[in-house]
Structure formats: C-alpha cells, structure tokens
Structure 1
Amino acid sequence: MTKATTAAVALAGTTVAFRLAGGGIYTAVDKADLTVADGEFVAIVGPTGCGKSTLLNIAAGLLKPAAGEVRIFDRRLAGLNKDSGYLFQADALFPWKTALDNVAIGLEIAGTPRAEALARAQAWLEQVGLGSFGNRYPHMLSGGQRKRVGLAQVLIRNPRIILMDEPFGPLDAQTRQIMGNLLLDLWSADRKAVLFVTHDLEEAIALADRVVIMSAGPAARIIGDWRVELARPRDIFEVRLGQEFHALHREIWHVLKAEVTKGYAQSSKLAEVQ
C-alpha cells in the first residue's frame, strides 16, 4: 500500500544525451517514462551501462535531461531535488569524522544546534544497530557497518524520497541480506518513496513493490514494469524460498536476460574496435 496516489517522482519522455569529445552526441536514455508514488518502493534493473544511475541522477537534479520533464510531488524540478536523500554505492563518509559526527553533519549544515544534532545522530545509530560505535572512524568499521552509518546519514534528514544506487553492491551475500532487512524495517516504519538501482534481480524482487527493467544502451528505454505482489512484511531470505517469488523471477529474467546478452555483445564489439 502506498501513502497516496501523488507521484513523488514523475519522469515524462525523459531523454539524456551527452556530447562526445569528437563532436558527436551519445544518447544514454531515450524517452523514459517512470512514476514512483509517494510511499512506493521501486527497483530499477538492467544491463551494465544502460542508464540506471542516470535516471537516479535526473531524479536527484544532478543531471538535466535533454528532453522531457521531471516532476517531484507535482512540481517541475529545477535544480537540485531538496526532497531527496541519495545513498551511493561508494561510501560518502568523511574519514576524519567519527560515525556520530558523520551522521550529524547534515543537520549541522542545515543549522541544527550541535548538541541536538548529536543527540539525534546517536538515536539513528541505535536504530541501525550501531549505538555503541559512535566514536569510531570509518576505517575502524566493516563494510556493512559503514553502509549502516551511510543509511543513517541519509535518513536523519527525513527526506521524502530516497535514491539508492547499488548501495549494497560491494558487500558479501550475507551482509547484503542483513542490510536489505534493515532497510525494509526502517522503510516500513515510515514509508517514503524509494528508487533503488541494483544489478541483482533477486534483491530487486525481494525489496520492491515494483521492478522496472531497462533495455541495453545506447538510447536505453524502460521496457518492462512488474508489480511485486509478495506480502509484507518480508524477510529477504525467507521470501526467496516461495513459489510466487520464483515464478516472478522467471518471468522478469526472460526479458532481462535478452537485454543483458545484448549489452554484453555491444561491450565486446566496442572492445574489439578499441
């Protein structure tokens, strides 16, 4: 169930093109239409280099489309999307700051008094299971622990939209499942709109309300949109054992496999030319 029918993110006919060094134009994404309702969890899957992260950057206001429109809560996006929080694949923690200070910094920059910011940061560290790790620096934390700090760093600002670009990609399989369950627990408590990019179709189905498939690039398009009817709350491990999960996985993979094969073939041809 979503909070309302309001579109938190709406991309209409969105095209992204880049000028090449030799003077040509490379179209990364062509006429993408995508809507994420308020409170809805949408995962984007597709071949490497198909423009999944590009769509996130458009929704974040980091990229301006060459054509089409981006609307955030029914307002045309001009500049940075201040309603969003962005969790990247690479750690975005300051190495010279403790976990507590890394979580608090967003509030401090916004003008929250330091004492209040630290108190709220401590509460978020406790929510992500790191209540006793506040005085540790990033290099003293495991990969999974750094991801927990990064998640708290984003959520403490209470964004209305959460953008996630392969956030658990660098982690081992067991830690990814733990982080997935943590994410679902936090999201279920106060459902926000989530746009989640992943290469892992199983992860996408286990987490999301909808799974969107992009074609191989260039000029990548959205070619499939599946609703995930699996009951919530979900356990990332347990949900993968069910027949409904496997049936949906087979249906989506039938489409995705063809695009992955195309993407691989195109990459191989490019490597031969180079």
Structure 2
Amino acid sequence: MDKAKPTAKPTAVALEDATVAFRLADARVYTAVEKARLAVAHGEFVAIVGPTGCGKSTLLNVAAGLLKPAAGAVRIFDQPLTGLNRDAGYLFQADALFPWKTAIDNVAIGLEIKGTPRQKALEQAQAWLTSVGLGAFANRYPHMLSGGQRKRVGLAQVLIRDPKILLMDEPFGPLDAQTRQVMGNLLLELWTADRKAVLFVTHDLEEAIALADRVVIMSAGPGSRIIGDWRVELPRPRDIFEVRLDEQFHELHREIWGVLKEEVMKGYAQSTQAGGAD
C-alpha cells in the first residue's frame, strides 16, 4: 500500500502584488510600496531590510491588517485577509507596556482580555517571564526595568497569546549593541522551540543575516519594490555572537550589501525631500 503524500502546509503570509498608497494633504497620492510580492512559509524566519523611508513598516502593517493595500491582495494561511490579522502578534520598536502595571500584569493582560481567569493568566505570565529570564522581576513596574528587560517583557507579552505569526518592527533598535545580540539569541531560542512564521524588519543587515532564514531587500521609495531575496544557509542553531565571525556570513553580507548600498544612498537623498513611509 502506498503511503499518502504529506499535505503541504499553507503559506503563513502572502503579499500578492500589494500596492500601498496614501493621499497627502494637498490631494496628491503618494505610492509608498508598489506591487510587493512576498511569501513567508509556516515556521520560516524572514527579515526585511531597506533604506529609511522605503516602506518596511508599511508592509508589516499590511500583513497585520492595519493597512489595506490600494491594489493587490494579502493572504494569511491561504485565506484572504479582510480585517485585523488575528493570527499575528506584533512587537513594535517602541515599548507597548502599561506604565501603571507590573511586568506580570503587563504579560497577563493578553490572556485576561480573552476571558482567561486572572489566577490562571498570572500563572502563565509568570512562566513566560521565567522563560525570558525575568522570573524574579514579575512585580517590578516598567520604569524599574532596563531597556533590554522591557523588551523581554514585551516579547513575553506577545508570545503568551501564542500567535501563529510574529510581526517584529525594529524590536531591538533602541538597545545598545551588546543587548541587541543578547536579545537576538533569546529570540532565536524561543523561536526554535516553537517555529512560528516571523516577519522581522530591521535597518541592520548583520542582524538580519544572523537571525533569518531569508533576507529580503526593498528599494528606496517612493514606489518601493522588493528587489532581492537571499536564502541564509548558515546552520542552526546559531549564536549571534559567533555567527558573525563565519566566513560564509561575511560573503553573504558583501553580496547583499552590494545591492543594498545603492538603495541606501538613494534613500538618504529621498530623506531630504518630502514624503517617505518606513
């Protein structure tokens, strides 16, 4: 008897010729992103890199259902996205913590608003804080935590809801270089344990290569397009501190930077003019 072929898993995020445009105050239309085509497989980690103002965050907002494309389509697990993406968790660059709530309450609230009894929500929140290395900091308020610690709370806050997709917009951008690397390793550790689809926006090409399965490059705006898509063949598990010393890492960095550099210079020129959507 022949064995049944395994069923292909649906694509977690698919942008199909997505175009995003905004109407300016003077009634002109500004096209931020034009005909973006991108597919993120179930369990795949994809990083998006591009110059300032190229629309990287705009693409995340489209995938989150916060922006509706002017043309094209968005599909989530092969189904059309018609409103907010309920399968996604969104980690922003800025902290999204309630300053009047403790760390454990900030994490638990994601379950409480869904109807989980408070005691159960607190137990799960404590477990997540422990998993991000903050088990002893549960009763501290955000102002009592360092920038890196607040990012850990934010990560736990998103992951406790068990989203199928992680949308991450420069989540480690405000941190110092060493803390960013620590947070990168923590993210990879958590992601390896439960392979969610990840769409990760960053300005840092080294960070993108160190973390991702694929690195996608966007052109300078307006009318930004996806102009490159590189697969990162570096073996996993990875250590952010060590992988950057690998010759294969440097070869890939040189190859991608050869394309990205020109777009960065275009983006710099664009930043001195009106318009831009990052």
| TM-score grouping bracket, smaller chain normalisation | over 0.9
Cα offset, 1:237, TM superposition: 1.0
Is 1:76–2:98 an aligned residue pair? no
- The answer for the alignment partner of 2:3 in structure 1 is none
In the aligned structure 2, how far is the partner of 1:28 from the partner of 1:270? 12
Q: CA RMSD in A?
A: 1.2
Cα offset, 1:123, TM superposition: 0.1
Match for 1:214 among 215, 218, 229?
218
Q: Is the 8 A contact 2:56 2:201 kept in 1?
A: yes
In the aligned structure 2, how far is the partner of 1:258 from the partner of 1:4? 38
Is 1:256–2:260 an aligned residue pair? yes
SS at the partner of 2:200?
strand
Q: Is the 8 A contact 2:53 2:271 kept in 1?
A: no
Match for 1:63 among 54, 62, 67?
67
Any unmatched runs of 5+ in structure 1? none
Residue correspondences, number: 269
Q: In the TM superposition, what whole-angstrom CA distance separates every residue of 1:25-77 from its partner, at most 9, and x where no partner exists? A: 00000000000000000000000010000000000000000000000000000
- The answer for the alignment partner of 1:140 in structure 2 is 144
The equivalences for 1:1-274 within 5 A come to: 5-270=9-274
What amino acid sits opposite 1:40 in the alignment?
Answer: E
What amino acid sits opposite 1:32 in the alignment?
Answer: A
Cα offset, 1:270, TM superposition: 4.7
Q: Is the 8 A contact 2:15 2:38 kept in 1?
A: yes
Q: Is the 8 A contact 1:4 1:38 kept in 2?
A: no
Quick one: structure 1 residues 67 and 35, their matched pair in 2 at CA, closer, same or farther if it must change by over 3 Å?
same
What amino acid sits opposite 2:101 in the alignment?
Answer: K
Cα offset, 1:265, TM superposition: 1.5
In the aligned structure 1, how far is the partner of 2:147 from the partner of 2:70? 37
Q: Structure 1-normalised TM-score?
A: 0.97
Q: In the TM superposition, what whole-angstrom CA distance separates every residue of 1:64-106 from its partner, at most 9, and x where no partner exists? A: 0000000000000011000000000000000000000000000
In the aligned structure 2, how far is the partner of 1:110 from the partner of 1:226? 39
4+ aligned runs moved over 4 Å, structure 1: none
Cα offset, 1:227, TM superposition: 0.2
In the aligned structure 1, how far is the partner of 2:139 from the partner of 2:258? 48
Greater shift, 78-87 or 258-267, is seen at: 258-267
What amino acid sits opposite 2:47 in the alignment?
Answer: A
Cα offset, 1:5, TM superposition: 4.3
SS at the partner of 2:216?
strand
In the aligned structure 1, how far is the partner of 2:269 from the partner of 2:18? 26
Any unmatched runs of 5+ in structure 2? 1-6
